[in-house]
Amino acid sequence: MSAAQRVLLCPTTMGLLLQSLFLLLLFLLCSCLHPATAFPKGCYPSEEEGLKTFRCSNAQLTEVPRDIPNDTNKLYLDFNQIPFLPRDAFRDLPLLLELDLSHNAIARVESGAFQGLAEHLHSLDLSSNRLVSVSKDTFSNLKAKVNLSNNPWLCDCGLQELIRAVELAADTSGGIVCDSSTQEEHVGKAFLQVIADTDFCNVYKKTTDIAMLVTMFGWFAMVISYLVYYVRQNQEDARRHLEYLKSLPSKQRQSEESSTISTVV
């Protein structure tokens, strides 16, 4: 390559480098001015029927995402592997109307998990999870219609109180089935069918009352036994002392007897 050609190529190369550097700086500047929202993989926002929707269905999530737009109206977290719902999990979503948590691995819901949703939420789907027992206080002040079907419920007083505290979604009550129960004959039956004939809370109260009576009777029997033992022991000691006095000489015996009588009186 001749010297003249090298002279012509150098300015061209320098120009390309300067142009590339300018474009890089422009990209970085735009990124700073308009930062991209980083949604979890498999999640995306959309608009359905005029409502702002955020879908994370089948996104292999193991926890509730934190970067959900706070103006979301409908949130789909179904078909994931979320194991539990912590307190204040949805507190930054004041406009949420529908929440779908079905087909997860939820086995525990902390008290206050739905705090902040009482005003607007009207649909909550917790079906097809691993719920065995949930405190009724978890849904305190919540007006949403709740789907609790297809969970391995323990049928007891706690579940009975929970069902009375929430409004079940239409046509879902038949899916609340006793996977286990305080009474074995109820396993495999629909819970609402069972409580039509059985009051779990009343049975629990009777059992508790009986247990208290048995405990009180046991303590009473122990006190009586101790008193009987104490009286018999004193009688035995008195008898031995009298026999001892009889074996003493006459004057000393009379003195001891007088002392014993005085003590008894």
Q: Give the pLDDT score at 182.
A: 85
Residues 6 or more apart whose Cβ sits within 8 Å of residue 154: 132, 133, 178, 179, 180, 181, 182
Higher pLDDT, 253 or 91: 91
The per-residue b/e assignment along 76-87, b for 16 or more CB within 10 angstroms, e otherwise, is: bbbbbebebbee
> Which tokens in the block code for residue 254?
């009379």
Percent of the chain with pLDDT over 70: 63
Distance, in Å, from the CA atom of 81 to the CA atom of 62, rounded to the nearest integer, reads 5
Phi, psi (degrees; rounded to nearest 5) at 46: -160, 180
Q: Is the pLDDT of residue 247 over 70?
A: no
The half-sphere exposure of 152 on its side-chain side, counting CA atoms within 13 A, is: 8
Q: Is the pLDDT of residue 253 over 60?
A: no
Beta-bridge partner residues of 55: 44, 76
- Nearest to residue 259, comparing CAs of 247, 241, 240? 241
> Which tokens in the block code for residue 95?
């406009």
Q: Give the pLDDT score at 39.
A: 84
Residues 6 or more apart whose Cβ sits within 8 Å of residue 32: none
Dump pLDDT digits (tens) for 86-140.
999 999 999 999 999 999 999 999 999 999 998 899 999 999 999 999 999 999 8
Q: Is the pLDDT of residue 38 over 50?
A: yes
> Which tokens in the block code for residue 227?
């008193």
Q: Is the pLDDT of residue 35 over 50?
A: no
Pairing of strands 44-48, 51-55: antiparallel
> Which tokens in the block code for residue 239?
């008898």
